[in-house]
Structure 1
Amino acid sequence: MAIEMRNLGESLDTIVDAEDWEPFRRASPQAMAAWLAQQAKRLDLARYPKTGRSTRTPAVKRTHDPGRTHFSVARTLQQRKAKAP
């Protein structure tokens, strides 16, 4: 929806004269917010469907290798720190 509004804005710049934008420049923030809310109510939201979620890819199953045993990185770092002068 934002892309369509941006494209519409670029088109309006070429078609509409600068003085036609004057009421929007003079509008207070409250008046502009009210006008924008009124315009948003007129949107057909069915025209902008949400993107569906894709299926989740399953995680790769880990295999156990008896030849490689687990070692603690924290313990290894502590041992290196104790050996350092």
Structure 2
Amino acid sequence: MRAHLHIEEGLIPRMYLDLFKEHGTTMVGLKVPKEVNGSDDEEFHAYVHVKLPYDVLKPDPMLRNLHLSMPWRKLIFANTDQYHVK
């Protein structure tokens, strides 16, 4: 993604934070023409999701039991790609 954006490595954390604060999500900020032209959703997600520490996520038995105790159908909506959802 850094190569796609043509920016220095050291500027990335600040840029992501600034875009998040200004636009609500980094993705939306990247799509603003004044920032970057042609940022691709799939490319962005593929880049940022590989870097997430998924190994720290652990099952939560209390949360699972709470969900199972609710009698109605539960749907989870995610504004992301399939890799991140799984």
TM-score by length of 2: 0.27
Larger radius of gyration: 1
